[in-house]
Structure 1
Amino acid sequence: MTQNISALIEADAGCPMVSFVNLIAGKWAIPILYRLILLNKPFRFSDLLRAVEPITQKELTRQLRQFEARGLVTRNVFAEVPPRVEYQITELGKSLRPTLDSLADWMRANAAVLK
């Protein structure tokens, strides 16, 4: 039995769905990305924090850093006092829109029957 589980885990390592889930892992990943995609404009951190509340500052920072590292979001720091930081979806991030639209459509169609 243990051998079968190990084989499944190894097989899943190359699965594109596992990679996708790892990319958007976290309770707030999709709401953050979707908001940035739909509005398609630079967002100040505080505005994004309000747009996806009740997310915490710590969690938003963590998710944005991951998205930036993966090339889904750009971060622009302005040399002002106080410092201003804006985040914007990249072209790579925008390419997720059809996938996320599809998930949203599925949820709308099936929400009533989900338990």
Structure 2
Amino acid sequence: MFFKVQISLSHIFPPALAPWLSFVGLLWKVVPFPLFEFQSKWIAGTLCGRLSLPSPKEMMADIQAFYSSMEASGTPKRYTHNMAGYQFEYDDWLAAQCGCLPTEEWRK
């Protein structure tokens, strides 16, 4: 599951343009608004210098590993941003990066 969290960096930041270009809400099969809030907090923390990103080279390596894993499992690339099954792990990871509390259990 580690690779899924790492690839999720690219759900927000394209490696070659990070941190100056970012996207909120590209994901699907999610509970949207708590996810958008965590993504926005992480973007803000990165832009103000409180949080840092891995190098573009590290981010690209994670993306390549993710796509290799998808290919090996027969999952089409159109499912790249499908978060079904691990959204709350991703939300909690983002919350930890931002210094926020994790997702409340009742939301999960």
Mark yes or no: TM-score above 0.5: no
RCO higher in structure (CA 8 A, sep ≥6)? 2
TM-score with structure 2 setting the length: 0.38
* Structure having the larger proportion of residues in helix: 1
Greater Cα radius of gyration, structure 1 or 2: 1
* Structure having the larger proportion of residues in strand: 1
TM-score with structure 1 setting the length: 0.37
